[in-house]
Structure 1
Amino acid sequence: EENDTYGIATIGRRHVTIRDDQVVFDYRAKGGQRQVQKIIDPEVLAVVQALKRRRGGGEELLAYKRGRRWVDVKSEDINEYVRDGTKGEFSAKDFRTWNATVLAALALAVSGPVARGSRAARGRAERRAVEEVANLLGNTPAVCRASYIDPRVFDRFEGGETIGGALPAILDGEAGWPVLDGPVEKAVLDLIEREESDAIERVA
């Protein structure tokens, strides 16, 4: 922890509560921004309950058993796991960056019809998208745009392109939950890499 702020490796057991079927994280993140995140996932719930109830180890939530001893998970442990799983030079921050990019692309796609044909309207849509993503990530808009959202999303939008064709894929018809992976992520990749795709729509 640094200046009473916490990240994935330093978040403490005291920062996590279980409410019915929800895991609730409440902590102060980088920049002093308070983060409150709720997760509904039976597997995550079971693991977090076990970690909170464990006897031994430090106050950090994440730990693993080595022999008869609990060992705290460090940032490098997490990043090594990410690199092993992806077979690339990625870190935990890349998930946050990608999430911000996908959310921004979606926000711009929703604003696309309103912004059609007007540079001023597109500028307002960009500011609104950044504010929405910053609110979801718990960052300031300036930090969010400078450090997390891929600038190519805005370049494409200013050039009149969004992932509007992927909007129908956002909702899972059975559960009604937003679905941001699969077709939506593929559409964002196609957008920033200038690949041909039915998901790409013109707004200007």
Structure 2
Amino acid sequence: MPRVRGLVRARTSGPGWTRRRAGRGFVYLDEDGARIEDPEVVERLKALVLPPAWRDVWFAPDPRSHILATGVDDAGRRQYVYHPRWVEAHDRAKHARTLELAERLPQVRRRVTRDLRREPGSLERALAVAVRLVDSTHLRVGSERHTAATGNRGLTTLLCQHVRVEEGVVTLEFRGKSGQVWHTRTVDEDLAGAVASLLERRSPRARLLARREGRSWRPVRASDVNRYIQEISGTACTAKDFRTLHGSIIAARELARIGWSPDERERTRTVRAAVVRTSELLGNTPAVAKSSYIDPAILDRFHANELIDLHRGDANAYLALMRGGD
């Protein structure tokens, strides 16, 4: 976790407070099951505004904890409420990694191209396919647990049946997070050749991303992809940082395409349109796209009439915008 002065690391597996429904609301209980009566403490817990449907709720007794509360939502997922100062520090670190990834993107892409041309069946070739797809289509990396629980898929849980290769074009069609249908089309000869070799003489129900081990294939996992990204970039970045980088670039380019206006209301409409466009390409809601994938500094620069150069390459233009250089 980021180091944030004044905050302490929460241990959600340790003792904590909870809540119990009472009438139309809740009462709050301490570690011993006794009702919390202090009105200031009760108000602090209420102010976290946990959804009423959450179960197995845990509250941090210490208001300085980096995690203030957890609970299980309707879908059975453990959710977390973080301290605002921790969120701020986490977001700063995230966008700093994004800038670092933008700097390294040319070298990453060169390495991926080399690895796409490696021997068919090799781990490096499968990982290069993964990163090229993350870079070009902005897919989520996926997880075994999520696919097992929902049937929805991400990059590492795609099956061969979700992919088609024709004349240098790779087409993906599958159901992703929240049941959203993804349909992407990537024109890339190196990628197409590598993907075609992964499809050759394999079952439609086999995992697309896999490496050959003797006469069998072993699936590539999200952790493999993230380690590869860190190795070839020399950073601590993961596949999610690609989505953050591209979300920020998409928003910046859309703002520049529409253009700046001296009218504040018109600028607000432009920001809204850019956020919606970003959410469409990332497969998120506009609220999630804005809060999680678009660097707020991009919006600040737009209001100051600082726009990305649409005639430059995406990473270089993004760096120039964010660092105020050429």
Query: CA shift at 1:23, angstroms?
Result: 1.3
| CA distance in structure 1 between the aligned counterparts of 2:204 and 2:162, rounded to whole angstroms | 16
Q: State the partner residue of 2:296.
A: 151
Task: Confirm or deny: 8 A CA contact 1:33 1:139 kept in the other structure.
Answer: no
| CA distance in structure 2 between the aligned counterparts of 1:57 and 1:81, rounded to whole angstroms | 26
Q: What aligned pairs does 1:59-138 form with structure 2 within 5 A after superposition? A: 59-112=206-259, 115-138=260-283
| CA distance in structure 2 between the aligned counterparts of 1:160 and 1:154, rounded to whole angstroms | 10
Q: Structure 2: give runs of 5+ residues left out of the alignment.
A: 1-146
Query: CA shift at 1:142, angstroms?
Result: 1.5
| CA distance in structure 2 between the aligned counterparts of 1:125 and 1:151, rounded to whole angstroms | 15
Q: State the partner residue of 1:39.
A: 186
Q: Deviations over 1:132-161 (max 9, x none)?
A: 122222222122112211121112112221
Q: Does 1:196 pair with 2:320?
A: no
Distance 1:46 1:187, change over 3 A: closer
Query: CA shift at 1:55, angstroms?
Result: 4.1
- Find the partner of 1:10 among 150, 154, 157: 157
| CA distance in structure 2 between the aligned counterparts of 1:54 and 1:81, rounded to whole angstroms | 26
Specify the code of the residue in structure 1 equivalent to 2:322: I
Aligned to 2:157, what secondary structure does the other structure show?
coil
Query: CA shift at 1:168, angstroms?
Result: 2.8
| CA distance in structure 2 between the aligned counterparts of 1:57 and 1:63, rounded to whole angstroms | 13
- Find the partner of 1:23 among 170, 177, 183: 170
Return structure 1 stretches of 4+ with deviation > 3 angstroms.
54-58
TM-score, with normalisation over the residues of structure 1?
0.80
Computing the radius of gyration from Cα coordinates, the structure with the larger value is: 2
| CA distance in structure 1 between the aligned counterparts of 2:248 and 2:236, rounded to whole angstroms | 19
Distance 1:77 1:139, change over 3 A: same
Q: State the partner residue of 2:315.
A: 185
Alpha-carbon RMSD: 2.0
Task: Confirm or deny: 8 A CA contact 1:57 1:72 kept in the other structure.
Answer: no
| CA distance in structure 2 between the aligned counterparts of 1:57 and 1:35, rounded to whole angstroms | 18
Distance 1:10 1:119, change over 3 A: same
Aligned to 1:37, what secondary structure does the other structure show?
strand
The percent of aligned pairs where both chains have the same amino acid is 35
Aligned to 2:150, what secondary structure does the other structure show?
coil
Higher relative contact order (CA 8 A, sep 6+): 1
Aligned to 2:208, what secondary structure does the other structure show?
coil
Specify the code of the residue in structure 1 equivalent to 2:207: E
TM-score, with normalisation over the residues of structure 2?
0.51
Aligned to 2:156, what secondary structure does the other structure show?
coil
Q: State the partner residue of 1:52.
A: 199
